[in-house]
Structure formats: C-alpha cells, structure tokens
Structure 1
C-alpha cells in the first residue's frame, strides 16, 4: 500500500454496537468500586451523591455528543481541546485522559482478582490481577481485539446478570436495612453526613467512568449523525438505571457496612441472601467476570490508543507510536500502560495514602483525570461555539447553554471537593501532571517533527501509522 494513501476507517458499527461499547466500557463500575462511597457517606448520603453525579453525567453526555459528532476523531477529548485551545489545551485534556485510562485498569484488575478469590480462596487477588494484565496485554499485542459484536454480547450478559442479582436478592431486601445509619453512620443528617456526601464523589463517578471512551469509535460508526447520539443517550440512561438499582438492592440485604470496603460487594450481598453454596452466587461470580473483562480489555485498548495518539502528535516519545512489525499493533504503548498499572497494583506495599484501601486510591486517581478531562471538554464546547459557529454540528447539545453549564459547574464542584477530601492523592496527581508538563516543554522539537497536528484531522492516527508500516 502506498504511503501517500490514507484510507478512512471502515464504518461498520451500528448504533447498537456503539451502545454496547459505551456501556461495556463502564459496566464493571456496577460490580465494584462504588461501595467505598458508603464508607464515606453512608447509604443515604451516597444516594444523594449519586443523584448529583448522575445529573452531571447525563448533562455531560448530552453535551459531549455534540463534540463527538462534530469532530468524530479517535483522539476524542484530546482532539476537541487541541482544536479549541491549541497544543497546551490538547496536552491538558490528553494527559488527563491518559491518567484516567491508565489508572482505571489496575482497579478493575484488582476486582477481577477479588471475584476469582471468591471461587478460589487460595488465589492471591494481586497475582490474579497481574495475570489478567499479562493475558489481555498479550491479546492486544497479538492483534486480537474484542469485536464489536462480542463486546455487545458480553455487555448484554453483564446487564442480564445485574438484573438477575436484583431479582435474587429482592426477597431479602429491606428498606430499613438500607436506611439504617444511612447518614455517614448515623440515623440523622449531620455535618459529617454533609461532608460525606462530597467525600464520596469519586466513587459515584466510578458508576459512569469511561463512557466517553466510546468517542474513539465514532469514526467507525455508520451514519454517526444519528447513531452516535442514540448510542450515547441510550448508554447513559442504561447506566443510570443499573447504578441506582444495583446500589439500592445491595444495600438493603443486611448490614451494608460489611460491603463498604471490599472489591466484591455484589457476591457478598448475594451470599447474605442465598448462602455460600448457592448456584446463583457462583453464576454471579463467573458471569460478573465478563463485565469486568469487557471494561478491562476495552480500557487497555483505550489507553494504548491514547498513548499512541499522543506519541504520534509529538506529545510523548515517538517509541510509543511504533507498531509491531508483523502484528501492526502499538505494542510499546500497550506495555507502557501495563507497567504503570501493575506498579499501581503493588504500590500499597510502599505507599500508604490516607489510610484508604488501595483500590479506593487508584479509583480516586483515575477519577481526577476524568474530571479534568470533563472540564476541558465542556470548556472546548463553549469555546468552539464562539470561535467556530460555522462548524458542522450534526447534533447540537439540547438546552444550550444550560446543559453544558450544569455539567461544567458540577464537574468543577466535584474537582474542588475531591481535592479537599483527597489532598494526598491530588498531590500525586499534580506531581504527575508537573512531570508531564516539564516533558512537554522540553520536547517541543518532537511536535515539530510530528507536524504539530499529526493525527488531529479526520484521519485516525492509528490508521495513518499502519499505512506507513504497510
């Protein structure tokens, strides 16, 4: 194939496929991570937190879809902010997205380990988590990806299992159990309960984190003007229903405090109702793994694409833009994110942050990246409306400027409260950003060599590089 030929990506995905990708990237968040919010806010306090975050995500998706359809590029938020604010804006959004997608997989891997530990009590969850990394990094490097149809299948299976969970535990559900000491350990609202509502924000965000990753598939979607809005809106509505249903039913089966600091709240909640030897419990564990794997594998693909795209545009060392000579996969990008993730899994052996469980801190770090990216995306939406009014917008954010403003204000509020309650993790987040920015300043020549806007047009950077190798 000629190096001058730059074919467009095959538009083979339907709206249903894109819905499956959007929900599949997030579905693991329904299985674990969110219950740490109970430790901070109690069940009732966390219910309030989740309502606020659901409002933020719903208005965000209705607004973000305008960017996705107007600039249907695999770079996602990086491309939007670059177009709106130039290289520095691209750096902030790109690096924030990178932190989100690099730190989400180790949390999911630890949950995979915890779920397997339910079946095999002698198995070290951390060892299982590293094993998951090795397997799925290997699959990515080998060129094996989860096809959209399979992603849709495992997503539907994971949703089915969540519905089964709610149905099985329903006989043991009691609203009195859910509300008992539901305000940060008290039966009455207090100052501590008010603070807990905000302290629990990162764990409510975990319910919806990474839904924006479906933007990377926008170029490959048939009739994106129609399918992208339907898929995104259908996806966020699906996740809102599952988030509230899962949380409420899990919290009403017994002592919810026993579920507030573990990686496998659903199996443990079901165990309280049906017993340890029930076939329902074992089915939940095995099918639940499909939901975790769908998100885990999808986000590994996401971080490798993000590392690759940033490298192609000159924001990261060019080695990460190299493709495997025979597999045509960004193997160095896959490995780089995996090294960081595995290091995060074992970081509690060396670093204790705030006395919180390791998974809670990893979730918080990932959420910091996501929130900064959400703020940049909404700012880019406002900026592009002002600077490029003639830009073709197949879908326009409803109730503009109210919806994006609500999302932006709630995202800023979330960031400020997260900083207050997670100062040490935020300090590490800022340190990573500072190192990244120093590298950004010192490597301006890389962006000159890369052409500055390499990969930021309507051509997918991955396809561009593959064409060069071919």
Structure 2
C-alpha cells in the first residue's frame, strides 16, 4: 500500500504539471508489464535472500579482481579509501532504496528519475546505467580469462575463447528463466563466500603485518634482499587519489537491487531489507580482503600490481597442495556469480527501456515459454564481448584493458549516482508527506554522496590527464554517452516533428471541410 500511495502522489503531480507525454504512457506500460510478469510468475520468486544473493553475488568478484589497484595508495591509504566509499555506498544504498520504494519498476533508476526529473535526464541515467552494467560484464569476462590462463597455464592468446565460452554460459543461465537464475545465483554466492572465508582463515597462520606491510624484517630469519618495501602510505595524496576510484570496486553493483525487484508488490519492505543485508556482508568481506591479502606473502606492494590477487593468496597459503588446483577452479565461481547478476540486471534494464520506447523495441521481446527478455540478454552479452575485444586490440599492453574498462564503468556509475541523488532531493522537496520507505539519512545522505562522487570523478579525470591508458577510458565513456544522447534527442526531434505534421494535416483537412460547407 505504501508504494501505491506514492504512485498516486506522482500521478497527481504529473497531471497538475501537464507531463502526460512522459508519465501517462509510461504508467500504462508499467501496468501492462506488471500483468505480463505476473503471468510468467517472475515477481513472486523474489525474497529478501534472493536480493542478498543477487547483490552480494554481483559485487563479490570485486574482492577477487579489480580492488588490488587501490593498494597503490598503500595499506593505510587503501583503508582510508575503503572507509570513504563504504560511507558513500551506505548513504547511496538507502537513497536508492527510498527512490525504488517510491517508484518500483523493472527499469530501476531511469524510471524514477524520469518520473521526477523528466525524460531527458531519465534517459541519461538509463544510458549511464547501461554503460556501467555492460562494461562490468566486460571486466568480469576479462578477469575470468586472466584467471583461466593462470589456472590452466595456457597461452594468453586463448583468452578471447574463454571470454566467449563464459559469455555464452552466462547468457544461457539467464535466458532459461528467473526462477532458475535466482536458485543458481544463491548457490554461487554462498559458495563464493565460502571460498573467501577459507582464504581468510588460511591466511591467519601466515599473517605478518610488520613484514609484509611495514617492511620490518627479522635480521636473523630474513635476508635483506627478500625483505619487502614498506607499503603503508608510499605515494601520499597522489596515491590516495589514484586508489580512491578503484576502491569503489568493493561495492559497485549493490545499487542494482531495484532492477532485480522490478514491480514486486512488497517492494517498499523488500528493497531496504535486501540493501541492508547486502551492504553489511560486503563491508565485512571488503575489510577482510584488504587486511589478509596485504599481510601475507608476497606483501601489499606486489599484490597492488597482481592480476590474480586471490589466486596468489591461495598459492601462499596452501603452497600447491594436492587439492590446490581444485580450489583454483572454485575461485572462478565468484566471477560466475557476479557476471550472472550483472547480466540479469542488464537484461532487465535494456528490456524496460525498450518497452518504454527509449531503446529499439525489438529488444523488449520476451520468450513465450521461459518469460525472459532473451533478445536484451543476448544483445547485452554481445556488446560486452565486442567492447572487451576492441579494447584488448587497441591497448598496447593487454593487461591494461581491465583498468580501462573499470574506469569506463566508474564514469557511467558516478553520472548515474549524481542524477539519482538529485532526483532524491527533488523527491524530498516535492513530496514531503510521501508514505513510502524513507532513508534514515534524509537529504544529507544525498548531498554527501554527491560531494563524494564529484571528488572521485575528479580523481578519475586526474588519472586520465596523467596516463594515456586512463585517458582512453574517459574518451570512450564520453563517446558512448554523447552518442546515446544524440540518438535520444534526434529521436525526440523526429517524434515531435511527426506529431506536428500530423496535427497540421488534421487541422488543414478540417479547415478544408469547413470551407466546402
């Protein structure tokens, strides 16, 4: 009933302001979509633990690959970065929970931004979200390829085949249907957390913070040549700014939970509970990952440039025991969990925007028997694979392709966060008496989040100015967003012109009839 009340508030406001072109049509589409999804039985498969599995599963690969670059700031710098982004995502998570409760929809962020701030900003949000989820899938495929090459000791040139195999696998898992996707996702998420817990427990006997972080070696037992460099805060503020953006990888994706919920009848209670449980789990995993990975061999400095940090940690702990190879394969499950979650969210987002006639309409086709948006899923997987392949060929050092993709993803994410927080401020101003779930941090949470987003965005721009590798990501992200907005405005222009011509023709025909009379 809470979400219904807020929905009526919104419809009344849009009626008063004359924004029927955006909202009335969308309201009709949303009700039709709700009946359609109800027919497929999708929304009744969702429980809080499903949201927890999807949220944690989407982000958990960030603790396996991607986070290690934040150690460029040193161990202390990485901890500072982690505290900052933890605060940001707690505030953002509660803001998103309120917005999604106010306007539950399969389109997630773009839907409530459109309803509150208008169609153009709504499309911009959806475009930024699309950039984020598609490039995240590309990053995960890249990481899987790197891990599989390491595990199988194969030639790196075979990486594109590993990407293709897993892209097809993830797509098939999502096409088979929502119920099976949630069941598989829950199993993968639990198994991945077990893998991480085994690493943390196994690292305890090898734990030596003084040696591997502070660089303090025992002269009686350690050779000076093998003593690692102190890696507490080596690069000062420059290192801190470089590590801040990569520390987002510990949480990026948790805000996709509204895309999983869609038009769930209990969205106002399910989304906040799912968000709280997900962020709580990710906080514990993130801090344990930084602490234990930095405090065992080969140390924080080497981990900061390692492409397979968790695999390196397992090698240190188990020293190639006879069952080590089996554990390496289990690590890949973490990537499966994340890519499964993100591809599901990508399909939801692309499907919803296509149904609302913002993307080409063929993308909204739903499988008649399985009930999944299979065209949106297949198209998203193909785009992710193509982006990864193109960057892999363009970037001279292939290992840098992952960093370029991560920064592209962050550019889309931060733009989306800024617009969503702006819509939250408008929501507080326009609907002070709304009855949906309310963030405990109020507008202060949105304002702080926006400030932190701008700081992180400045850090990314600074990296782009200093390094041609990161400049690629800035340029590619702006081309994607700029091209998308050009497509949108061109479509809006022709739509308005077509309506104007139709109206002129109708008026002209009516005047002709009047003259004849």
- Shorter chain as denominator, the TM-score bin is 0.7 to 0.9
TM-score (norm 1): 0.86
2:243 paired with 1:211? no
Offset, 1:82: 0.5
* Aligned equivalent of 1:400, options 442, 467, 471: 442
Of 132-141 and 156-165, more deviation after overlay is shown by 132-141
Of 246-255 and 219-228, more deviation after overlay is shown by 219-228
Task: Write out per-residue CA displacement over residues 69-92 of structure 1, whole angstroms, 9 at most, x where no aligned residue.
Answer: 221211111112101110111011
* Aligned equivalent of 2:154, options 114, 119, 122: 122
Q: Name the counterpart of 1:465.
A: none
CA distance in 2, matches of 1:403, 1:346: 39
CA distance in 2, matches of 1:286, 1:46: 28
Q: Name the counterpart of 1:151.
A: 185
2:481 paired with 1:437? no
Offset, 1:437: 0.9
Of 347-356 and 405-414, more deviation after overlay is shown by 347-356
**Which protein, 1 or 2, shows the higher relative CO under an 8 Å CA cutoff with sep ≥ 6?**
1
Offset, 1:383: 0.8
Q: Name the counterpart of 1:74.
A: 106
Contact between 2:78 and 2:247, CA under 8 Å: does it hold in 1?
yes
Offset, 1:397: 1.0
CA distance in 2, matches of 1:117, 1:230: 39
TM-score (norm 2): 0.79
Offset, 1:333: 2.1
Q: Name the counterpart of 2:464.
A: 422
CA distance in 2, matches of 1:341, 1:405: 33
Contact between 2:245 and 2:459, CA under 8 Å: does it hold in 1?
no
Contact between 2:178 and 2:372, CA under 8 Å: does it hold in 1?
no
Q: Name the counterpart of 1:31.
A: 64
> Structure 1 residues 126 and 355 mapped into 2: Cα distance closer, same or farther (>3 Å)?
closer
CA distance in 2, matches of 1:188, 1:305: 42
Q: Name the counterpart of 1:467.
A: none
CA distance in 1, matches of 2:366, 2:246: 36
Q: Name the counterpart of 2:311.
A: 267
Summarize the alignment of residues 326-345 of structure 1 with structure 2, pairs less than 5 Å apart: 328-345=371-388
CA distance in 2, matches of 1:303, 1:272: 37
Of 326-335 and 95-104, more deviation after overlay is shown by 326-335
> Structure 1 residues 152 and 327 mapped into 2: Cα distance closer, same or farther (>3 Å)?
closer
Q: Name the counterpart of 1:62.
A: 94
Q: Name the counterpart of 1:302.
A: 345
Contact between 1:315 and 1:440, CA under 8 Å: does it hold in 2?
yes
SS in 2 for 1:11: helix
CA distance in 1, matches of 2:322, 2:496: 62
Offset, 1:309: 1.7
Contact between 1:177 and 1:254, CA under 8 Å: does it hold in 2?
no
* Aligned equivalent of 1:276, options 312, 317, 320: 320
CA distance in 1, matches of 2:325, 2:394: 34
2:174 paired with 1:140? yes
2:144 paired with 1:112? yes
SS in 1 for 2:296: coil
Offset, 1:249: 0.2
Contact between 1:15 and 1:222, CA under 8 Å: does it hold in 2?
no
Q: Can you give the 5+ residue segments of structure 2 that lack an aligned partner in the other structure?
A: 1-30, 217-228, 466-470, 500-517
CA distance in 2, matches of 1:162, 1:130: 26
SS in 1 for 2:45: coil
SS in 2 for 1:443: helix
Q: Can you give the 5+ residue segments of structure 1 that lack an aligned partner in the other structure?
A: 452-470
2:47 paired with 1:14? yes
Contact between 1:126 and 1:345, CA under 8 Å: does it hold in 2?
no
CA RMSD, 1 decimal: 2.8
Contact between 2:70 and 2:247, CA under 8 Å: does it hold in 1?
yes
2:401 paired with 1:367? no
Q: Name the counterpart of 2:420.
A: 377
SS in 2 for 1:156: helix
Q: Name the counterpart of 1:164.
A: 198
SS in 2 for 1:110: helix
> Structure 1 residues 387 and 285 mapped into 2: Cα distance closer, same or farther (>3 Å)?
same
Q: Name the counterpart of 2:332.
A: 289
CA distance in 1, matches of 2:339, 2:33: 34
Higher helix proportion: 2
SS in 1 for 2:414: helix
Q: Name the counterpart of 1:464.
A: none
> Structure 1 residues 90 and 174 mapped into 2: Cα distance closer, same or farther (>3 Å)?
same
Task: Write out per-residue CA displacement over residues 152-180 of structure 1, whole angstroms, 9 at most, x where no aligned residue.
Answer: 22212211211111001111111124424
When Rg is computed on C-alpha atoms for both structures, the one with the higher figure is: 2
